[in-house]
Chain A
């Protein structure tokens, strides 16, 4: 590659990185700005302040933000855990057992994934109020499961199909008990698929907004995205911009950490699930 060509690629790379990251850098910088600085149009804050973070974590906005953070973590982790268990069984059956109608089952999962959530929110709202699930954790865990299960089954069975199941028998022939064979051979092989599925399921549940604002009304179950929705509209803060920026940063951090750690797996999980589907 000639020097001129290489310079051109560097310029292009910089443009791409700016496209993706400059908006994010701007919101991070905004979250450290004092109220007087917010409208000054400069990239760096003139005074570096943690005030916005303390406002959402200990100040006036904490009553809205902290319970929401706790709800989101609790609800999404439980939903992810249940989705993984259920889809593990389903994926095992699809990958390992012979029976008719496998394709039908995968198609059903896909059809449910495509099903527009908005057309079932109103009856869920009515139903949940009737049976007392409105504004509770289970009231969100149940719809989140229906949101995450189709993708989980799809991804996990793509992974499970790649597992060389004969190795289990081979280990048993070599003298391992069936429990040992399962634990020492199959579990390590299945772990990456389960991990990827868990991350994708958590991502889906964490990002939900429609269920979050429709099926909750108080901090008893309101998840973070719904709380963020209230941040912008409500006039309970003097100038919500700084606090909003800080909240947006805090909300995004867990997802980014998760994905950066498991990046390679997620990319291969997405393409495996989708391409080999």
Chain B
């Protein structure tokens, strides 16, 4: 991040361009993108807020009426909603952390010279490149399938029968698929971190007689901290909105055992036609996202500013 962007308050323009019309002329190239994005995302959100104050079910025409905060009261007393919220946290945190641990391990393995390293690294990115819907299908039909799944095939020497993994462990199954897809992303980030390590420091530590593990704990890990944090935040931002994997693999079921908030909201609106209730949950999710991401991003920006 350049100094201009980090400390906008300290910019001393050569001429007072920020005043009046010319300041806006300079901002003009920005406006199309910015105005467009804000209109397309925020205008519908105003509608969502409006819907959330109505009792409105599409199946019963004429049912639309203003009910104030009733929908919110229902949301917070709905035990299914709490269960689904918990699923969302478990799924996001679990998938991100496991993918990060695996990604870090792989990055450490790949961060050395060996023949074919470039090829291996390229091949490893592939899971991340697969369209998420296709990846979910892959796990559902290819790996977890009770009759011809890879998992049962691999486990068959150990006496695993025809386990239907998705029915038996729906949330875990979804999480496994997400971990598989996101490990390469975490690996790429931590690998970028590993390769930006100053070699003289590592060399000095080695000369001073530090063991590999001590070097890893005392030098590499602190250096990697910001890359790990970045991976966790970016992964969490994306995975908290997971929808395709759940839609394809479990449809949130059985019941709501594997539904997360995005899927539950979709289900309520597009399959249950309960627009008011679903909108209220949408607003709650946006507020929660703002709160959580404010903390998370602060953490990230602080650790990057320390560095630079």
Hey, which bits of chain A sit against chain B, CB under 8 A?
6, 9-10, 12-13, 16-17, 19-24, 26-27, 30, 38-41, 86-87, 89-90, 92-94, 97-106, 108-127, 142-143, 145-146, 149-150, 153, 161, 203, 206-207, 209-210, 213-214, 224-225, 228-229, 231-232, 241, 244-245, 247-248, 251-252, 255-256, 259-260, 263, 267, 270-271, 274-277
Contacts and interface: CB of A to CB of B under 8 A. Distances in A.
B142 interface: yes
Contacts of B123: 17, 20-21
* Chain B contact residues: helix, strand, loop or mixed: helix
B8 A40 contact: no
B216 interface: no
A115 B41 contact: yes
A267 B114 CA distance: 20
B81 interface: no
A224 B131 contact: yes
Interface in B115-168: 116, 120, 122-127, 129-134, 137-143, 147-148, 150, 153, 156
Interface residues of B, number: 96
Pick the most buried of B8, B138, B234: most chain A CB atoms within 10 A of its CB: B138
A26 B135 CA distance: 12
Interface stretch (B66-74, B89-97, B202-210, B281-289): B281-289
Contacts of B45: 115, 119-120, 123
B248 A229 contact: yes
Given A119-B283, A252-B134, A39 B29 contact: no
A149 B36 contact: yes
B30 A89 contact: yes
A231 to B, nearest CB: 8
A118 B37 contact: no
A235 to B, nearest CB: 15
Contacts of A17: 120, 123-124
A267 B192 contact: yes
A40 B148 contact: yes
